[in-house]
Amino acid sequence: MDAMSGAASAGAAVKADAYGIGARVAVPVLRDAGCRDFFVTYAHEAADLIGLVPPRSISLLHGPINDGVARWARETGVRVVINSLEQAARWLEAGGGTCDLMVDTGINRLGLPLAQLGDPLIGRLEIDILMSHLASADEDVSLNARQCARWQEARNLVPHRRSSLANSAGIALGQDYHGDLTRPGLALYGGVPRSIFEGRIAQVARPMAAVMQVRDIEAGEGVGYNATFIAPSPMRVGVVALGYADGFLRCWSGGKGGLLWKGRRLPVLGRVSMDMVDVDLAGAQDLREGDWLELDYSLPEAALSSGLSQYELLTLLGDRFAR
């Protein structure tokens, strides 16, 4: 991602527990690979990273949402991202210092409108990163160019040290979108947001679950809740410690989902339940209770099969998975 960012450096979005991968696992790897800027959502996410990276390298995307967060950021050195005039005032009242500034260029979420950039409060801020966020970087739409132009306008209006616009997909839009710092997230964790990344991004998340029981069932027997699968012939079935409480949702039911055993795909039978799922063991006669299976979880293909986004597939992975 850093190489694809050209003259810009690649930071890392590690919010939502590094997109479900585990921030305390991912951040040291990213740090050792040369990453120097990390982006989280909440103060408790930033607190979890202190000790792994310098606090000044952590940006708090939701900003000083109350006086307590503003004081804590001042005390620790974590950078807040200012998203409104109210947050700017709160930060300055807490003592101010280096911060980042989010400008809304068309996504209409957090960030200052361009019309507010001339406010005297903004002139009092010590801005490190002037950033905005792309709404449709994974699509070829005119909004991308409009947002880029507005971001360039903001760069000319507000004094700052560095500028940042591109997320993972935005990096692929070219150097006009890069500024000084890019903020990839999904692509760091195996996601493929645009076709240019195919073959360049490796799978990262490989969730695994144990087989709790192996059973033999007769033709005509149902499997799981409401017997949505009926065995057409005698079958060998594995009951796996995995369910929707782990983020393996019901959308994987009825054969849409599968688990891997020595490269062989074992289809899901019937409905996914909270803590268990059944799989067809016809292709795994050597499998035994206690063996581990890997989810078929290559993100682009899994997204097509499940109807979930690549982001959802990662962030849904529950706490019962050890990282």
For 131-146, write each residue's pLDDT tens digit: 999 999 999 999 999 9
Q: In residues, how long is the chain?
A: 323
Please provide the DSSP assignment of 117-137 as one string: TTSHHHHT-EEEEEE---S-T
Helices 67-76, 85-93: axis angle to 10 degrees equals 60
According to the model, what pLDDT value does residue 10 have?
A: 98
Please give the pLDDT value at position 132: 98
Domains parsed from the chain with CATH numbers: 3-197 (3.20.20.10), 208-315 (2.40.37.10)
Please state the rounded mean pLDDT for residues 182-199. 96
Q: Which two tokens stand for residue 134?
A: 């792309």
225 counts as catalytic? yes
- To the query of whether residue 15 is one of the catalytic residues in this protein, the response is yes
Q: Report d(CA 172, CA 191) in Å as an integer.
A: 14
What's the whole-number mean pLDDT along residues 199-218? 96
What SS3 class is residue 222? strand
Percent of the chain with pLDDT over 70: 100
The pLDDT value recorded for residue 208 is 97
Q: Which residue matches tokens 């067809």?
A: 280
For the stretch 260-298, pLDDT in tens is 999 999 999 999 999 999 999 998 999 999 999 999 899
Question: Quick one: tokens of 177?
Answer: 């979108």
Share the mean pLDDT of the chain: 97
Q: Pick the catalytic residue: 42, 177, 225, 256?
A: 225
Which is the catalytic residue, given 15, 19, 244, 311? 15
Q: CA Rg, the chain, in Å? A: 23
Mean pLDDT value across residues 47-57? 98
Residue 310 phi, psi (nearest 5)? -60, -35
Alpha carbons 175 and 177: distance in angstroms, whole number: 5
Terminal-residue alpha carbon distance, the chain: 23
